[in-house]
Amino acid sequence: MQHRIIVLGAGYAGAVAAGRLARRLRREDVAITLVDAEPDFVERVRMHQLAVGRELRPRPFGEMFAGTGVEPRRATVTAVDADRGTVTVTDGTGGTGRLTYDTLVYALGSGWNTQGVPGTAEHAHEIAGRPGALRLRERLAGLEAGRSVVVVGGGLTGLEAASEIAESRPDLDVSLAARGDLGDWLSAKGRRHLREVFGRLGVTVHERASVTAVGADRVTLADGRSLPAAVTLWTTGFAVHPIAGATTLKTGDDGRIVVDGTMRSVSHPDVYAVGDAALVAGPGGKPLRMSCASGVPTAWQAADAIAARLTGGKLPRTPLRYVNQCISLGRKEGLIQYVTADDRAVDAALTGRLAALYKELVCKGAAWGVTHPTLGVPTRRRGVVREPAAQDPAVGAAA
């Protein structure tokens, strides 16, 4: 009997986990199903590029995983029963199905977070996924010269979106509203460069400006001011997919699944969580932030741990840490902020054209790693350790 592994979500973390599992385990011993609502891989880190009209290369899952033993299934996950080991899905025609797993890798990721601000859901745009980026793309394409675009949120997504829009549409009045100071988490060198680039691009920055309401043509600030906004782009962080919170899985206050150092659920040992869906303790016990930089290493850790437990191998003990934050500022400028293991900025930073090339290489490398799922991983295919026949033959021995 094959051990049934279901991976929910085929973003960076889910796709990498599925491919690595296929590389680690023998096909005759495991059946790996990768469930996602999209037919192809979405480069989430490039959604700001898609929004301004740049074309992205299609990467169909059927081609990516051909011959690997991973079975892509296009469906939307509607429920997880962690106690019974089942997943409920619907396909594009509205049909409902139920999948049974022995091991589940939960990688449903996150979406945009309106923070409960009135009018945001009704009037603001988001680029947390491809549908939102395409809607914004259509809106920007029809926007007349001189109209105003307000980007709300001074984090990495907001910085990249504001600079990308300003560079591609210099005829628009682009501004950014940040709750704190511009780039206040960066080094002094990083902050200087950010201000210089925004100045050259003509981006107006409103600092210490909390948005309290979003209207059809303006945003309202906490101090009572209003900013005209033909388009409002909301980038104030991410919210995890709500399905985990509706299960019996132990989750944190933000809905992320609480896991141990191997990405295994602390409440359900047959469930692993990776990427934005996982509440992972990093250096110093500080939770890892939702990002591609966190997602891929957690996928490696989970896949290696699953393979080790199924085959009687050695559990991975690789520490998770950060090295840098990569920020694109349009197509010609970038900022690489080097950080401590727990993601605090240090003095060193790379700026300018070289930083833009560095960021592009990082994005291409991440996509290559996902779209070549069984390359670049040492081949150590091992069979699943079987329990005596009187016990469940699908359960592998833990290392």
The rounded percent of the chain whose pLDDT value lies above 70 is 94
Q: What is the pLDDT of residue 46?
A: 95
Q: What is the pLDDT of residue 302?
A: 97
Strand spans (E) along 242-344: 257-258, 271-273, 278-279, 324-328, 334-339
Give the separation between CA 130 and CA 176, rounded to whole angstroms.
22
- Cα within 13 Å of Cα(353), Cβ side: 0
Q: What is the pLDDT of residue 303?
A: 96
Q: What is the pLDDT of residue 385?
A: 64
Give the separation between CA 172 and CA 44, rounded to whole angstroms.
25
Per DSSP, 39 falls in state S
Q: What is the pLDDT of residue 380?
A: 57
Q: Phi, psi (5° rounding) for residue 372? A: -125, 70
For the chain, residues with pLDDT lower than 70 are 373-382, 385-399
Burial state string for 13-51 with b = 16 or more CB within 10 A and e = fewer than 16:
bbbbbbbbbbbbbeeebbbbbbbbbbebbbbbbbbbbbb
- Does the domain spanning 3-111+238-320 belong to CATH 3.30.70.270? no
DSSP string, 180-202: SSTTTTS-HHHHHHHHHHHHHHT
Q: What is the pLDDT of residue 393?
A: 29
Tell me whether the CATH fold assigned to 3-111+238-320 matches the one assigned to 114-234: yes
Secondary structure of residue 295 in the 3-state scheme: helix
Q: What is the pLDDT of residues 46-83, one digit of tens each?
A: 999 999 999 998 999 999 999 999 999 999 999 999 99
Q: What is the pLDDT of residue 284?
A: 87
User: Domain segments of the chain: what residues?
Assistant: 3-111+238-320, 114-234
Give the separation between CA 329 and CA 355, rounded to whole angstroms.
9
Q: What is the pLDDT of residues 1-19, one digit of tens each?
A: 899 999 999 999 999 999 9
Q: What is the pLDDT of residue 391?
A: 32
Superfamily for the 114-234 domain: FAD/NAD(P)-binding domain (3.50.50.60)
